[in-house]
Each structure stands twice: as structure tokens, then as C-alpha cells.
Amino acid sequence: MLNQTRFGRYEVVSVLGQGAMGAVYKAVDPLIERAVAIKTINVSLSKEERAEFEERFYREAKSAGRLSHANIVTIYDVGETDDIAYIAMEYLEGESLREMLDSGVVLPIEMIRSIAARVASALNYAHEHHVVHRDIKPANIMVTPGRDVKIMDFGIAQVPTGSRTQLGTVLGSPKYMAPEQVAGQPTDGRTDIFALGVVLYEMLTGATPFNADNLSAIMYKILHEEPAPPSTVNARVPVAFDRIVSRALAKRPEDRYQTAREFARDLRGLDAASTREPRRSAARPEPVEAARAGGAPAEEPTTLILQAPKGRGGPAVERSGKRSGNREKIAALLGKVPVPKPLWLALPVLVMATIVILSQRPQNDDKMAAPEAQVLEVTPPSSPQSARPTAKAVAAAVPDVHEAESVRPPPPEVPAEATVMLAISPWGEVYVDGKRVGVSPPLSTLQLEAGKHDVEIRNLAFAPYRDTVYLRPGQSLKIRHKFR
């Protein structure tokens, strides 16, 4: 069928997709030079079954062709070629909602609300014209580059493809079937409402509400089990959606929204506050991280101020801090008098002050030299002559600047860190060493100390992801995981 070049008057341009039931082509209508999409359905029926098929197929397609709505793909024509039935419909650029969800993109809450409300509005229009889709699912919802939403495949949900036992069966995934479909009971517009509720649930949480390993288990859950509210599966979902989803997924049709208009109204009635994603408080940084981020130091350094003496006594030293110094401590800084707790941090300031005083002393003014000599004196003078040390003596008394720096206490060691980058789809709560650190996305980067760490990523709809990482200082590691 991939080699097909024409369906009726439509000339095939390219193949857009291939499935078990048929294919989708891009084609051109040569009469009006319009691009169309041709959807084909393989039909292998007996003569009796073919007559019934043709009657119902054209009836369904004719009904769908009457629909004219901004959110419904327009059907132009139907026909047959050999054993292949086809429908010519509006050709659109874009991608299906199924492709968007499978890509791992996280849809904004407001966009999810808008898509569901538009689909509900289109379904209400179709139901008012007595057309039921019966196969609403992400693959049948198209999103254009301009963010328009279109429902596809109206009129072919009940097209048979084989023996008479398949007549009336629903084509499509059983995960989106309503309980009455599973039980083989009559369907109506409320069947489409249930299916749209499943689609909304999947957009909000990244998983369908009735998941299992086999068809029987899926159908059992659809009939008997209530899914967890979306806000408990995905922490970023506002709780306002729980009530809407619960009503759309009611087991009994009479307990659901009775019209898709009601469904759309409730979705559009959510105000900005109720659709705002819940805020997640970020973990407080550790003390070391706070210091790195530019936080204020625990205690500001104390400044030393030297004052010239007012008499024959020793020099006065004052602090801008709470504690005051004395002459013995200054002498200790110069290395002459040992004290229990030397003020190492003040030494560079004192050395610089001494150098400035020496550089400003007049060479031939004995009256000014005497007081400055007292500042550098380390023992009480025994006579007026001994109170004036020579420049050589001063140089010997002042310790070398490099020597002072070499004995300065080293800064506290900061633990080396490594970077862990996260790429999680559709989302997951991240735990490191048993402690919750956030939800990814939006969380994309972690700064962790070097060493061993246990990383766990949880999404209640799937089995958790667990890994143990061994990080080296400065290492960058990427964790990529897609829940399936």
C-alpha cells in the first residue's frame, strides 16, 4: 500500500504515517489544487459484510462531513479503491497530542486546561449534531504550530475490519474506553466525555489512569477501580482538577457530565489562582553554601587604630570592636612578649601602620622623632637617650611581612562538590540520600558533595528509579530517565 500513487482523483505526494489498519498520506486534489490528508482503512470482508460495511461507513462519514467547527478536522470526501476505504480530510501541519506526550515535554497547566476545554467544546458541537466520536485519545487530537487544537477521525470509530464478530467494535486503545464500551452496552456522548477525562488525566500526570500489563487487567480496572486523584500523582497539579477529572471518569454514565458543554464550562471556569502550579519551597542552603552565595560573615574583622601618645607614657591602642588592647599585646604582636592568645589577624595592620609612620618621620626633627619612637618601643625606657631606637633597631623589631603571612591560620576547608544534571520525563520527585530535594522538571541541577550518594526518583504512576552514584570533586554527571 505504500506504493499507492492515487486514491480516486487524489494524487499521493508522500506517506505521513503507517499503522496496523492502514496509512495516512499527503495528497493533492487536482481539481482545486488543494492539499489533503488521505486516511485509508484496510477492509477484508465477505460479500454480505461488505454491503453492511459500505452502508454504515458512508453513513458515518456523511454525518461527520456535516460537522463544521474550528476544533474539528473537516472531512472533504470518502471513497474506495479495491479493498481500501479512504477518507479525504483537511491537511494540517503540526503533531498529535500523542507525539507531544511521548516526546517527554511537560505541558504547562494552563495549556492542558485549554486543550481539554477546546476538545470538550468540539465534542459538544458534534453530539448536538448526533455524531459520537467513540475513539477520543491523544493520537486523534492534533495540535498545530499556532496551538490550535483539532479532533481527527470523526465517523470511522466503528468501521469494521474483518469478520462479522468485529462489527460494532471500537477501533483504538482500550485504555481510553468507557465502562459501557468494555461491557458491550450502548454508547452515547458521555462515552466521549469519559475518554476525554482519561486524556486530561494523562496530560496532567504523564500516565493513563487505568494501567496494567494485559488487556483483561486494564478492562477490570476500568470497570471496578478508582484512579488516584491527579494532584496526588503529580505534585504540580492544582487540586482544582481533581473534582473535574473525578466527575468525567465516573463509572456510571449518569454520574458523569451529562454534556460536554458542562465539562468545558468547568474547565474554563477555573480562574488563574486555581490553575497556578503549587509553589515548592526550596531547601535551605547549608552554612557553607550560604557563605559561598555572598552571605554576611559571622563576625566583622576588628580594626586597630594607633594614636600618638599624649604624655611620656606608652602609646595608646584602641579597637573599633568591643574589646580593647594594651601595650603588652602590641609587644606580643611584635614578637617580644609572649601571651597566651596572640592577635595574629591584627599583625598585618600594625606592620603597615608602622611603615607609614616611619615613612612620614622628618629626618632632622628630633622633637617629632621621640614620640614616634615610643610607639615602636617594646620595653620601658631606662633613660631619655635609650627611648630613641635607631632605624636599624626598628627594622630588627618589626617582623618580616611574608613571615607574618606564613603563620596566618589557613581558611576553613570547604567540601569539594560535584554537579548532577537531571533529565526526567515526564516528571519525578527527586530524593538524595533519603531526603527530598525537589521535583524534576523544573529542577535540573544538583550540587552535591563528592562521595557516594543514593539517588531515587519517584512517580507514583510507575516503578521508582534508583541509582547509587560516586562523585569526584568537580565532576559533572547527568542522570536521564523516562518513566514508562
Q: Which residues are catalytic?
A: 135
Tell me the C-alpha distance between 378 and 314, whole Å. 9
Fill in the DSSP letter of residue 72.
Answer: B
Q: What is the 3-state secondary structure (H, E, C) of 266-302?
A: HHHCCCHHHHCCCCCCCCCCCHHHHHHCCCCCCCCCC
Tell me the C-alpha distance between 428 and 442, whole Å. 10
Question: Cis omega (within 30 of 0) on the bond before 441?
Answer: yes
CB 150 within 8 Å of CB 71: yes
Tell me the C-alpha distance between 20 and 38, whole Å. 16
Segments in 25-108 forming alpha helices (H): 47-65, 97-102
The residues, any chain, with a CB within 8 Å of residue 359's CB and separated by 6 or more, are: none
For residue 457, give the nearest of 476, 472, 444 by alpha carbon: 444
CB 275 within 8 Å of CB 203: no
The DSSP H or E segment spanning 260 is helix 260-268
Bridge partners (DSSP) listed for residue 480: 423
SS3 content of the chain, % helix, strand, coil (to 5): 35, 20, 45
Q: Which amino acid is at 222?
A: I
Tell me the C-alpha distance between 135 and 174, whole Å. 9
For residue 76, give the nearest of 124, 127, 9, 161 by alpha carbon: 9
- CA torsion sign for 130, 136, 140, 143 is positive
